[in-house]
Structure 1
Amino acid sequence: MKKPLLDVIFASDKRKNVLMLLKEGPKETENLLSSLETTRQSLLPQIRILEDHHLITHYEDSYELTTLGEMTVSKMQPLIDTVKVFDNNIDYWGTHYFDFIPLHLLKRIDELGECKIIVPPIPEIFEFNKEVHERSKKSGFFVKICSSMHPKFFTLFSELAELGVEMTFLISEDLLDYLKREKYEEFRSLLENEKTTFYLYQEKMQFFSIVLNDQCVLLRLLQKDGSFSNLQAMFTGESAVNWGKELTEYFKQSSVQIVDI
């Protein structure tokens, strides 16, 4: 009796990895053994299972995907990448609210890649993420969507402006009122800086903040009950940044530029 196809693919890391390697093209046995760092005795039984289920075929000592294998593997990568986002931090994603992400981007959340959860030490819970700030200083642009601003925001963002970083802020109405009332001069100075653009986000923000530069994306999500969470989810790489650009552009559609105060 044949195994269910999902078991064939995912119940064995060796079988899954063989399929992913053959996605790149035909491979000889020695190449597979070297890439998988395994022995012939361990690998061949798994290859036979893949052959028995018509996912791969071989000619002499070279293996390749069948048409059925190619169709199957083409659907595997997005699932594997999606699992990579959630897998090591399933409790974080299960307890935090991310339904505000538009459906078309949720369906492509695999593009974020591996998730790094940052747990700030208690004295630094309300500090700006130092790693992200250092990356921002080396970036060509910086975007922040937020409903609150770090007490040292003027110092932090003036430094970026001096380095020539193009900055965009999308802020909530409550934060706009606070900045006009309590930080008027600092806010006006940033607003007048040619490197800085502010937008008023006109909908309810269902997250604490989103930060994007040309190296990484940082999400500070709320817990599902709406309460504050000190945990931060960080993603790096070109694919994650491009995903983050689409997310920030989505929020811009519900925003209006602030030109004076």
Structure 2
Amino acid sequence: MGVSIIELVCRSEKRKNLLVYLKDGPQNLAAIKKALDVTSTGVLPQIKLLKDNGILVQKDDEYELSIFGNIVVQKILPIFKLTNTLEKNPEYWFSRDISALPMQFMERLGDLGDSEVIEPDINSLFDPPQELIDHLLVSRYVTAITSYFHPYYVKHFVELAKKGVKMDLIFTNDVYERIVEDYGEEAKIFFGMDNTKIYIHKGDLPVVSMVCADGFFLVSFLNKKGIYDHNKLISTSEEAVIWGYDLFEYCCLDSRKKT
């Protein structure tokens, strides 16, 4: 081989995109050019280089990853995804404190690459993002984690539960007690509904808040000063939603179901 595998795979955006595209199966040149928005002149030299180094093989008029290429892509793909996540929203990620996230979720931050940062203005600092409200209104199942009391969230959760939406919620004990104190009889009715499951987390939660609704994901972290600045990350990608559901299930392991 004339170049190292890392250099071969990572130094060229065209090669990287090509390998990620081919991980799902063989493709001909026409499909490659259309999917990656490249010309023959732009992509054929990259294909030749990958073929010469045993990463790609050609069968008739189609190109596919070799066995070795498949191994390389599967190992490097999480790095590609993580890099894309950090490069898309660098100011957000490098200002967040994610130290409380379990390592398996840090390693999967690449799943949140197709996300948008929501920075509320001073006049709507304490309001939930409109994108969240819009998705909650049409969702049939909602999971949420919250380590702080927010009357807007409680209000919307209660309204959704009354409409029959299935809800699984994790609160810290302090948040749970605040809801009971502030909402009284309404909280008892809310917590007693058949379509609502409430879990009380034993310790500190790894995020400030997280919501997964049908096809929607929201998460917020403290910043590195330990302050909640109300910046949120939202996404409608399947990978982000699954990341959120998995984090919920993880937090359930250290939570007690309220009966």
2-structure distance, mates of 1:231, 1:186 = 30
Q: Residue in 2 aligned with 1:201?
A: 201
Worse-superposed segment, 8-17 or 18-27: 18-27
Q: Residue in 2 aligned with 1:180?
A: 180
Q: Residue in 2 aligned with 1:254?
A: 254
Q: TM-score, normalised by structure 2?
A: 0.86
Coordinate RMSD, CA, aligned: 2.5
SS of residue matched to 1:226: coil
Worse-superposed segment, 36-45 or 137-146: 36-45
- Deviations along 1:79-130, one digit per CA (max 9) or x if unpaired, are 2222233221122122212222222333333334412111112211111222
Is contact 1:139–1:165 with CA below 8 Å preserved after alignment? yes
Is contact 1:210–1:217 with CA below 8 Å preserved after alignment? yes
Q: Residue in 2 aligned with 1:88?
A: 88
Q: Gaps (5+ residues) in structure 1?
A: none
Deviation at 1:144, TM superposition (A): 2.2
- Deviations along 1:124-155, one digit per CA (max 9) or x if unpaired, are 11112221122122222222222333234554
Q: Which stretches of structure 1, 4 residues or longer, exceed 4 Å deviation after superposition? A: 59-62
Q: Aligned pairs, how many?
A: 259
Pick closer, same or farther for the CA change 1:191–1:53 going to 2, 3 Å: same
Q: Give the letter for the 2:77 counterpart.
A: Q
Q: Give the letter for the 2:121 counterpart.
A: P
Q: Residue in 1 aligned with 2:13?
A: 13
- Deviations along 1:197-243, one digit per CA (max 9) or x if unpaired, are 32222202353212122322211111123111211011323332222
Is contact 2:173–2:200 with CA below 8 Å preserved after alignment? yes
Q: Give the letter for the 2:54 counterpart.
A: H
Q: Residue in 2 aligned with 1:145?
A: 145
Pick closer, same or farther for the CA change 1:244–1:38 going to 2, 3 Å: closer
Q: Residue in 2 aligned with 1:115?
A: 115
Residue 73 (structure 2) pairs with residue 54 (structure 1): no
Q: Give the letter for the 1:165 counterpart.
A: V
Is contact 2:205–2:251 with CA below 8 Å preserved after alignment? no
Q: Residue in 1 aligned with 2:235?
A: 235
2-structure distance, mates of 1:248, 1:24 = 29
Q: Give the letter for the 1:209 counterpart.
A: S
Pick closer, same or farther for the CA change 1:197–1:73 going to 2, 3 Å: closer
2-structure distance, mates of 1:8, 1:166 = 49
Q: Gaps (5+ residues) in structure 2?
A: none
Pick closer, same or farther for the CA change 1:8–1:192 going to 2, 3 Å: same
Worse-superposed segment, 133-142 or 189-198: 189-198
Q: TM-score, normalised by structure 1?
A: 0.85
Deviation at 1:160, TM superposition (A): 0.7
Q: Residue in 2 aligned with 1:134?
A: 134
Worse-superposed segment, 85-94 or 119-128: 85-94
